[in-house]
Structure 1
Amino acid sequence: MTTSKPQVSTELVYRAEQLDTAAVSDALDSLGLTGHLRGLVPRVPGSRTVGPAYTVTYRPVAEAVSGFHNAANYLDDVPAGSVVVVDNFANTDCTNWGGLLTSVARRQGVRGTVVHGAARDITEIRDADYPLFSVGVSMVSGKNRVELDAVGREVTVGTVIVRPGDLIIADDNGVLVIPEDKAADVITRAEAVERTEAKIAAAVSEGIRLDEARSRFGYAQPWNENRER
């Protein structure tokens, strides 16, 4: 079984933890990158997660195969600090995450889970305050319906590719992926976006018109952190 290991530096993960996904999205836009993983909804309000992606792919159990088929046993191999990204091709007919996996993930030091499919045991997961994002919710088990296809393989969510080691950042706004080789640049630009917006907010609170404040501090390209004119 192939495993993916976190590659993004601890410093970059820490800096990303301080950022809102909106600022990161603007930074991705500035580089012409699409990082929004559409259709993924936060299941634990107020939770957020940041960490390198550990990718997991499922496939349907073949109808001709008999006997019990467990959905997957990969979680013991996930490195601490990772965000598990599960790809079941947005299929919500059965689940790919639940309460037991959440307990193991917590013990393993996993930072959160993104499910391109469905999850269950949502009340239990909310009680654990575990960051979970999924396309859907269901009570139907994945046992005898899906099985593990691969770990450590790139997956596609909508039109966006997620590779092992890419940086995942998710909050109440949704889920973003930052390509590993672009992480430093994106985070630096996102930090500039937040500083620019803070300057605009402070100016407005002092009575300056919004349009003037936006013009003064370079709202059109906040990642450039234009100086006051």
Structure 2
Amino acid sequence: MPEDISPTSYLAATQRVAALDTCTISDALDKLGLRGTVPGLVRLTANRQRISGRVVTVKLGPAIEGLPKRHLGASAIMAAQPGEIVVVEHRGRTDASGWGGLLSRAAARKGIAGVIVDGACRDLDESSELGFPVFGSAVVPLTARGRVAEHDWGCRVTIGSIVVNPGDWVVADGSGVVFFDQQHVDEVLAEAERILGRETAMIAALEQGAPIDHVMGANYEEMLK
């Protein structure tokens, strides 16, 4: 359990985040003038579940001399707590994999909720069979060996254009990936829950037969103002 948040607050935040999808979180960030949505990251495995939780970070880069000899992602997996999500800075690379099947297997056994890679992954069939969610921007069979190395972990990373720190929160589903930091968690969740409440009422109105032009009228366009 993270040391910078009480057990009660952490559990409550985890449950609240799990009830929200990426679109609702993204709308809340828009309303608050915050950035966190990363275009181009999609669910690569066949699993359809949404994942959410605090992040453990990995920074990848070119394979150069002098770096510690360790398998990319292994240290983050060992350090992660159940329910956390590994987030990998791969600099958008699609010419080599930044995550593979053995990592998915180890992460699944550790209880990690999923992985998000800013770049390509491989062994997607294996990850799907394991039921381990993998999000990224591409699939490629090319190995990282000799091409990519782990430069650091548990550090600040950049995913797309979004700066992500260890302990930040992330939600990932069929619509994409959205990050927000611990500093803003209360206001983001409060605004997202407000938006969700309004959209839930709109869904109910549609189910009861209200015309779409009435339900999605001026009030909908003003939701984020």
TM-score, normalised by the number of residues in structure 2: 0.87
Aligned to 1:209: 211
Between Structure 1 and Structure 2, how many residues are aligned?
217
Say if 1:70 and 1:144, in contact at 8 Å, map to a contact too. no
Aligned to 2:146: 144
Per-residue CA deviation, residues 19-38 of structure 1 (Å, 9 max, x unaligned), is 12111111111001121112
Question: Relative to structure 1, is the Cα distance of residues 70 and 146 closer, same or farther in structure 2, using a 3 angstrom cutoff?
Answer: farther
In the alignment, residue 55 of structure 2 is paired with which amino acid? A
Deviation at 1:145, TM superposition (A): 1.8
Say if 1:5 and 1:165, in contact at 8 Å, map to a contact too. no
In 1: Cα distance, 2:16 partner to 2:222 partner: 21
In 2: Cα distance, 1:111 partner to 1:205 partner: 33
- 1:181 equivalent to 2:183? Answer yes
Q: What secondary structure does 2:137 align onto?
A: strand
Aligned match for 1:132, one of 131, 134, 142: 134
Q: What secondary structure does 1:164 align onto?
A: coil
Deviation at 1:223, TM superposition (A): 6.9
> Which is higher, the Rg of structure 1 or of structure 2?
1
Per-residue CA deviation, residues 159-205 of structure 1 (Å, 9 max, x unaligned), is 21111111010001010001111112111211221211121222233
Gaps of 5+ in 1: 225-229
Question: Relative to structure 1, is the Cα distance of residues 125 and 102 closer, same or farther in structure 2, using a 3 angstrom cutoff?
Answer: same
Question: Relative to structure 1, is the Cα distance of residues 214 and 39 closer, same or farther in structure 2, using a 3 angstrom cutoff?
Answer: closer
Aligned to 2:162: 160
RMSD: 2.4
Aligned to 2:24: 23
In 1: Cα distance, 2:52 partner to 2:4 partner: 12
Gaps of 5+ in 2: none
In 2: Cα distance, 1:80 partner to 1:6 partner: 17
Q: What secondary structure does 1:94 align onto?
A: coil
In 1: Cα distance, 2:206 partner to 2:49 partner: 30
- 1:77 equivalent to 2:66? Answer no
